[in-house]
Each structure stands twice: as structure tokens, then as C-alpha cells.
Amino acid sequence: MTPQGSGRVAVVTVVHGRHRHLWLQQRSLAEGAVPPDDHVVVAMGDPRAAWWPAPGRRPHVVHLPLADERLPLAAARNLGARTAIERGADLVVLLDVDCLASPGLVLAYEEASRRPLAEDAVLCGPVSYLPPPPAGGYDLHTVHTLATPHPARPAPPAGDVVVDADGHDLFWSLSFALTPQTWERVGGFDEAYAGYGAEDTDFGQRAAAAGVPLAWVGGARASHQHHPTQTEGQPADQVRRQAWRTGIYVATILGVFALLGSLVLSAFGITIASLQIAGGLVVAHSGFGMIVPRETSTDAEKEHAAAKADVSFSPMALPLVAGPGAIGVIIALSARHPDPLDRVGILVAGLAIGLLIALALRFATPVVDRLGPTGIGALTRVMGFLILAIGVELFVHGVLAVLPS
């Protein structure tokens, strides 16, 4: 409960899957120095969100159906804020489902909202991106010492509030708070946006147009939980459907380029040898990346993928599975074997690859659970070495083709 004499604080979280993250977030709020008076959870096409209450106050869950594969984040945040205000909130804190609240987050936002220079501002708290959790999971007592706040945004010391009237391009919706009056002045999020990212930029510009400044609240720190997979937290049946769709998309992409590969080469004036050299380099790079682990996606790409209800086409089929290397190889094969029967064989091979990909993804979870991190790491390095060798072979074939006989 907020201190006597202060307003009623409600936290709003929008969710689609990520139930474990939601559960841990609820715990972080309940164990804070000042717990919120209300917690509104907006479930976007996720009836199971209400099944994961943590100890303490049960959240108030409202449901928002999905119209298509894009998550209606803007509409969900608007629904959550309206619900919190209708339930009597004097301050609304919107906290991303991946974020754990520091012990002082709610109190810091509440105190900042009563400062004369910040009471009409959009209050923003520093967010740190956590490394993968240890074997026993994150310890809420020490988790906020594992990472430092994101360097691209202000992070004042605890107790300080820095008002910024011109930095609206830095707004993000991971953690922010505002009064009902300020929410009305800004006008909420534009529900024409679906998916991740653009609605944040638009909200920042709406605040600027309304003359509402940002205020960075040093003590309102949150820690963003690590999520290693594209489908983590999604219902099992949804993950299975995406596995089959990924296989279908992979087969379709390979089939299209098998049929149109020669036209692509002719249109751009690319020789088969050049394509083999380029494709070999790409395949070898992918294989080397499996031997020497590295990040294959930017933070923005990971966040965008995490906000999608269906990742079967992008990023799974394209570019992660049927990427530039695979497309280059299939174009080279089709150009070298123009006979109709050969093309049919290439198409059948593409279908078989799509089926194998679908089966591998469909049964990946039990296999990963059985092998464990050590087994997966060893298998990844062995496969990476084989893929590296394939890439080198393609490269050598291309080089030999351009050298004088």
C-alpha cells in the first residue's frame, strides 16, 4: 500500500505468454518497499494469463482478443490504463511483462508524481537488461545488481528526478508512469499501430505536441528479464502450429527461388560462380558463428520478435532458416540444372527440407530438455563445423569456376 496521504497507485502489465515472467514480476511488486494498490493485467488473446497469480494481491485480469498475428500493444495499454483509472488509480505505472520492479520503484514513481516540476510529466524509470538467469533463477534480492541501466537513456541517482522537455525521442514503454490527467492530455497510444516499436515513438511525439515533458526518476529502476527464445512462454499448441507453419514457409521460399532463380541471376547479371562464392561465404559465416557463439540478432530485432504472436515466417523461416545462404545455394542448383526433371527433384528436396525443419521444431523442446545446455552446446559446435565445411566447399567451387582452366 502507498503511504498514508498519498494517492492510489496501480500497475498495468500487458501480456501474451511469458507467464513465468509475469509471475516473477508480481513477486517483485509484492516484495517491494511499497507494493501497488492495484495490478491490472491485460491478456492479449491469452486466457491462461489469469492462471499464474503470485503470492500476495491477485491481479485484476482483463482480456483483449487478437484480430491477427500482430499483438495490439497500443490498444492493450490503453485498455489497461482506462481500467486502472476506472478502478480509482491516482497514478498509473505501465510496466512491461519482462520487467522486474526494484524494491523502490512504486514509491519512487509516487514521490516523483508529487514534485511540482514533475507532477504533469511522463515519468520514466531506468531499465537494465539482465543476463540469462542462473540455475536457480533470478534472486529478487540481488537481481538488480546484475546489470547497469541502458546507456542510451538517462539514469539519475536514486532520489533524483531530471525533467527533460526535449527528449521525447527517448521514450519507451518498458517502464513509465503518469497521472490520469496527464494520460488524458497525451491521449494514450494510437491504436492504429500494432506490433512493437512505432507506438512508442508516436506516444513520445504526442506528449511533445501536448507540451508534456519527460521526467527521469532515478529510484524507479526496473530489470528486464532475459528471454532466449522467440516462442518462450507461448502456449504449447501455439508453438506446435508455428513449427508446422515454419516448415511450410521454408519449403515455399526454397521452391519459389528454385523456379525463379535463373531469372534472378539474369536480371542482376550475376554469374553462378559469383553466387557460389557469395553463398559459400554466408554459409561459412553461419557455421563459424555456431562454433564460436555470438549474438545473431540486435536488441531491436529481439524485442520486435518477442512482441509478435506468430514468428513462423519472420524471423524463423526468413531469415533464420531459409536465409541468404540457403537461397543462394538453391538458386545455384536450379541454374546449373535447368532440365524440368532436375527442377522437380530440387522442389521435392525443398519440400523434404521443410518437413524435416517442421519435425525438428515440433519436437525440439523434449530434445533440448533431454540434452541440456552442455549437450546442445556440443551438438551445435559439431553441426557448425559441418556447415562451415559446406560453406568452404561452395566457396572453392565458385573460385575454381572463375579461374582459367
Q: Is the dihedral of CA 303, 136, 175, 66 positive or negative?
A: positive
Looking at residue 28, its pLDDT comes to 95
Looking at residue 367, its pLDDT comes to 75
Residue 185 shares a structural domain with residue 305: no
Highest mean pLDDT: which of 34-48, 261-275, 312-326?
34-48
Q: Is a pLDDT exceeding 80 seen at residue 39?
A: yes
Spatial separation of the C-alpha atoms in residues 299 and 147, rounded to whole Å? 15
Residue 347 shares a structural domain with residue 255: yes
Grid coordinates 545462404 are at which residue?
325
Looking at residue 35, its pLDDT comes to 93
DSSP 225-247: PP--STTTTS-HHHHHHHHHHHH
Terminal-to-terminal C-alpha distance of the chain:
82
Check residue 308 and report its DSSP letter.
B
Q: Give the model confidence (pLDDT) of 148-184 as tens digits.
A: 888 888 999 999 999 998 889 999 999 999 999 999 9
Q: Is a pLDDT exceeding 90 seen at residue 104?
A: yes
Residue 180 shares a structural domain with residue 295: no
Residue 60 β-bridge partners: 40
- What's the whole-number average pLDDT of the chain? 85
Grid coordinates 497525451 are at which residue?
186
Looking at residue 132, its pLDDT comes to 84
Residue scoring higher pLDDT (380 or 60): 60
Q: If you compute the radius of gyration of the chain from its CA atoms, what whole number of angstroms results?
A: 25
Residue 208 β-bridge partners: none
- Cβ contacts of residue 133 below 8 Å, gap of 6+? 225, 226
Sheet holding 222-224, edge to edge: 99-101, 222-224, 127-129
Residue 203 shares a structural domain with residue 284: no
Count of beta carbons in the 10 Å neighbourhood of residue 37 = 22
Determine the structural domain holding residue 193 and report its residue range: 9-224
Listed residues 194, 224, 254: the one ending a domain: 224
Residue 251 shares a structural domain with residue 313: yes
Q: Give the model confidence (pLDDT) of 42-94 as tens digits.
A: 999 888 877 666 666 789 999 999 887 778 999 999 999 999 999 999 999 99
Residue 4 within a domain: no
Q: Give the model confidence (pLDDT) of 256-269 as tens digits.
A: 988 887 788 888 88
* Nine-digit cell string for 187: 491521449
3-class state of residue 174 by DSSP: coil
Grid coordinates 491477485 are at which residue?
58
Q: pTM (2 decimals)?
A: 0.63
Residue 348 shares a structural domain with residue 398: yes
* Residue 169: CA count within 13 A, CB half-sphere: 2
Residue 15 shares a structural domain with residue 39: yes
Alpha helices (H) in 95-213, listed in sequence order: 105-112, 180-186, 198-209
Residue 229 within a domain: no
Check residue 154 and report its DSSP letter.
-
Name the domain count of the chain: 2
If you average pLDDT over residues 206-218, what whole number do you get? 96
Spatial separation of the C-alpha atoms in residues 189 and 74, rounded to whole Å? 5
Grid coordinates 516448415 are at which residue?
247
Amino acid at 161: V
Listed residues 156, 190, 224: the one ending a domain: 224
Q: Is a pLDDT exceeding 80 seen at residue 296?
A: no
Residue 189 shares a structural domain with residue 259: no
Listed residues 199, 224, 249: the one ending a domain: 224
CATH number at residue 94: 3.90.550.10
Q: Confidence class of residue 328 from pLDDT cuts 50, 70 and 90?
A: confident
Residue 200 shares a structural domain with residue 294: no
Q: Confidence class of residue 315 from pLDDT cuts 50, 70 and 90?
A: low
Name the residue among 155, 194, 173, 222 with its Cα closest to residue 21.
222
Residue 313 within a domain: yes
Query: Which of 43-47, 281-285, 363-367, 381-385 shows the lowest mean pLDDT across its residues?
Result: 363-367
Residue 244 shares a structural domain with residue 206: no
Main-chain phi, psi angles of 10, to 5 degrees: -120, 140
Q: Report the helix count and the strand count for the chain, using DSSP H and E.
A: 11, 11
Residue 28 shares a structural domain with residue 176: yes
Residue 164 shares a structural domain with residue 284: no
If you average pLDDT over residues 375-400, what whole number do you get? 86
Q: Is a pLDDT exceeding 90 seen at residue 214?
A: yes
* Nine-digit cell string for 325: 545462404
Residue 341 within a domain: yes
